[in-house]
A and B are shown apart, each in its own frame.
With several copies, the nearest count.
Chain A
Amino acid sequence: MNEAKEFVPSEASAESPASAEEFRSSVRRWLEENCPQALRGGGVMYHGGRKESVDPLVLQWFDACYSRGWTVPTWPRAYGGAGLDAEHARILREEMDSIGAPLPLNGQGVTVIGPAILEIGTPEQKLRHLPRIARGEARWCQGFSEPNAGSDLAALTTSARLDGDDYIVNGSKTWTTHGELSDWMFCLVRTDATAPKRNGISVLLLSMDAAGVSTKPIVLISGRSVFCECFFTDVRVAAADLLGRRNEGWTTARRILEHERSSESRPGGIIGSGPGSGSGGDGRTLSMLAREYGAGPDGRMRDPLVRQRIAEVEMEQRALALTQRRADEERARSGKGVPSEETSMFKYLSTELTSRRMETYLNIMGFQGLGWEGDSYTPQELQATRYWLYSKAFTIAGGCSEVQLDIIANRILGLPK
């Protein structure tokens, strides 16, 4: 369990902006000294909060990074960040990747709601929530989807009725990632039942420890999952915990979704990881896998069809990574600090690619990819098979592929609605 820490800017993070190359070598030296060897190339990532037990080594790594503002490197120092620009942040990331260092902090707080609060939160909200995220004290979950809404988010029915200085929340959410482990939820609620669908929605910042909140785990086709359903019965939320404007939550939510899409399609995002991603972690790449299973007497690796499919996936993987880099550079030049429509493209491409990759993965494993449990399969094989099933969710969750294509067609290409 990590303890509350105060933010004390270290000397290093207080120094003036270094040139790219100086920064790179200083990062490299620092990582060499501070990143625990045992975590390199496959450490568990810390998601913040206190409801899950965490390896002390992971917390040690977290603390080291926090001391430099690197748990949220691009955030202002006032909120626990290091105030890095995009280029420096990329260098930091590259150096971490190069030694296989895990992200010191991950999850919706740092990738989604933090950036959103930074953008549109009140000064009070920023001071209240951002340092706690940076310090790893608050784990966040998202409360958008509802059982009967699906892709049509705006069809939500969870209600928030104003009662004095509080909202009273009633309803339920689903597909909440680790709701049971989270401290806070950013939650879409209907604050005006009479308004047309997309009006009358607001975003609340809701404590998961409040009275009237309960959760129930969801079992997926791949087995136990990180998701749960969340139920709210007369849950009180202070009016000050409204993010953005009342009844204009739809706009806020769209912005939040853009942050989410953007984070999901990057390495480290849930979608960029897992077996078969080209991005390290404990995943074997397709070509590694093919060599492993191709060494058998059936000579599968010499199968030119499979080889071609593997190469196609790996080539698209590389093209996608280059496109991410290009988008970063273009954003850095334009000064437009935040991703927008283009995130739909990355969400679409990366999830479809992961899906294709996992189909290829399963194909390469042959009979060994068909196991469910038991000693006839290695743990890696069983994990890969389940991940193949799990990966079917990526093109659905966080705005399904069809919705992303609609966005690209309407907002980027300007085709008529």
Chain B
Amino acid sequence: MSLILDEEQQLLQTSARGFFSARAPISQLRALRDENVTDCFDRATWSQMVELGWAGIPWPERFGGLAFGFKGLGVITEQSGRCLTASPLISSIWLCGAAILLAGSETQKLHYLPSIANGRHLLAMAFEERLRHAPGEIDLLARRTSHGFVLSGGKRFVLDGISADTIIVAARICNSACDTGGISLFLVPRDTPGVTAVSTRILDSRNVASIDFIDVQVPDSALLGAVGQGPELLDAALDIARIGLAAEMLGSAQECFERTVQHLKDRRQFGVALGSFQSLKHRAAQMFCQLELSRSVVLEALTALDEDRGRPEIAKLASLAKARLGATFHRVTREAVQMHGGIAMTDEFDIGLFIKRAAVADQTFGDVDYHVRRYAELEGY
């Protein structure tokens, strides 16, 4: 498959671009923030996206999807990034949907995927327990009982955790004598007794939750994948979500860059356009180059998902994309503030929303350092 969009994908791109700029422009994010909406995203917009079929694009038709590939979903996600649209695309579709698609039983797939695609369900993934991304460090315990498991422990930084009705929880299975059982994933309804979520609106005006699990009883059927399959499953699902997030970051960075270039053309200082100053030109040109590299790694990673190239290759491409976009988005937003000058420091101007999103997106699913290190490890050095 190729690194460019085919006609169908281009059409999808155009329609997504139109949709987000009309229905979910940056002013929507601002309004959600200022009105203190708990979900931190707009349910009506999400319903429209669901109606357009965007919540199940890559999945097979028998699970309610459109079988249009991850590249299709990536195209939409990138456009949502342009408008900084907050939606459950990353949490519910890219991450949880992927986990169920990868490891769900036929029953689970038939139960969850269509109802995610048609908007009945929203899922969130609870796996972070440390100060920063560390999917390998899971302390939350799942004690075996005669007819299931009892979960105890806490999770943090659960994206859209307050809005989801079902949480996928990564837990360490502990048999009779608290040995080190395998880490496994569980599907837990949010309203299960003992589950308490505290939501915080963070820097980028999105919601993350800290969720406590106090003696939460779940049946055997709550297991997603086999016992002990958690680490590899989590890793694989996260890689898909990392690629999706990278696509979103690409859209945001591209938009922020284009606004900055436009400002360089429009704004006059010292009697000339700001963009005629060579030092700014060079920095703009460097950003352009970084964005081109970014676009290539995102497209390649999406293509690899659709071609199902297998674990080591997809993992490398996910780290390549996430690291590259983390660095590019960081650079573009910092330069955008500096080049816009004082106006970019004011809350009423949009550039500040991009720099905030860049900081959060970088830390989500592993920052630049994390993925550069991971790439080196995957390459075996």
Contact = CB atoms under 8 A, between A and B. Distances in A.
Interface of A: 145, 150-152, 155, 174-175, 197, 218-221, 223, 287, 290-291, 293, 296-298, 300-301, 303-308, 310-312, 314-316, 318-320, 322-323, 325-326, 329-330, 333, 345, 348-349, 362-363, 365-377, 385, 389, 392-393, 395-397, 400-402, 404-406, 408-410, 412-417
B242 interface: no
Interface centre among B273, B277, B379 (most CB of A within 10 A): B379
A126 B253 CA distance: 46
A285 to B, nearest CB: 10
A150 B342 contact: yes
Contact of A348 (B4, B130, B277, B289): B289
Interface of B: 2-4, 128, 130-132, 134, 137, 156-157, 198, 200-205, 208, 210, 261, 264-265, 267-273, 275-282, 284-286, 288-289, 292-297, 299-300, 320, 323-324, 334, 337-338, 341-342, 344-348, 352, 355-356, 359-360, 363, 367, 369, 372-373, 375-376, 379-381
Contact of B201 (A333, A368, A373): A373
Contact of B347 (A221, A367, A397): A221
Contacts of A330: 4
A374 B347 contact: no
Given A220-B347, A415-B265, A293 B131 contact: yes
A371 B347 contact: no
A326 B202 contact: no
Contact of B338 (A145, A298, A400): A400
B132 A298 contact: yes
Contact of A152 (B269, B284, B297, B380): B269
A375 B264 CA distance: 41
B4 A221 contact: no
A415 B342 contact: no
A413 B288 contact: yes
Contact of B341 (A150, A290, A312, A413): A150
B347 A370 contact: no
A402 B277 contact: yes
A345 B324 contact: no
Contacts of B292: 323, 345
Given A221-B352, A298-B130, A396 B345 contact: yes
Contacts of A219: 346-348
A307 B372 CA distance: 9
A400 B293 contact: no
B297 A310 contact: no
A325 B299 CA distance: 11
Nearest to A290: B381
A57 B267 CA distance: 48
A319 B276 contact: no
Contact of A329 (B4, B338, B359, B380): B4
Contacts of B264: 415
Contact of A307 (B134, B289, B348, B376): B376
Contacts of A401: 338
Contact of A319 (B208, B272, B297, B342): B297
In order of increasing CB-CB distance, the 9 nearest A-B pairs are A221-B352, A366-B132, A409-B281, A408-B285, A415-B275, A366-B131, A322-B296, A311-B376, A326-B3
Contacts of A150: 267, 269, 341-342
Contacts of A362: 359
Given A392-B345, A415-B273, 14 more contacts: A145-B342, A150-B269, A175-B342, A221-B347, A297-B137, A298-B131, A326-B299, A370-B203, A370-B359, A374-B201, A405-B281, A408-B288, A409-B282, A412-B285
Contact of A409 (B4, B272, B285, B338): B285
Taking chain A's interface residues, is the majority helix, strand, or loop, or is none over half, making it mixed? helix
Contacts of B295: 323, 326
A319 B320 contact: yes
A155 B356 CA distance: 31
A297 B300 CA distance: 35
Contact of B379 (A221, A287, A304): A287
Given A371-B203, A408-B285, A315 B324 contact: yes
A326 B288 contact: no
Nearest to B270: A152
A307 B376 CA distance: 7
A389 B202 CA distance: 14
Contact of A371 (B202, B271, B276): B202
A396 B338 contact: yes
B288 A345 contact: yes
Contacts of A410: 281
B242 to A, nearest CB: 14
A366 B363 CA distance: 7
B41 to A, nearest CB: 16
Given A312-B372, A315-B372, A370-B360, A396 B293 contact: no
Contacts of A315: 320, 323-324, 372, 375
Nearest to B300: A322
Contacts of B352: 220-221, 389
A314 B363 CA distance: 22
A402 B275 CA distance: 13
Contacts of A312: 372
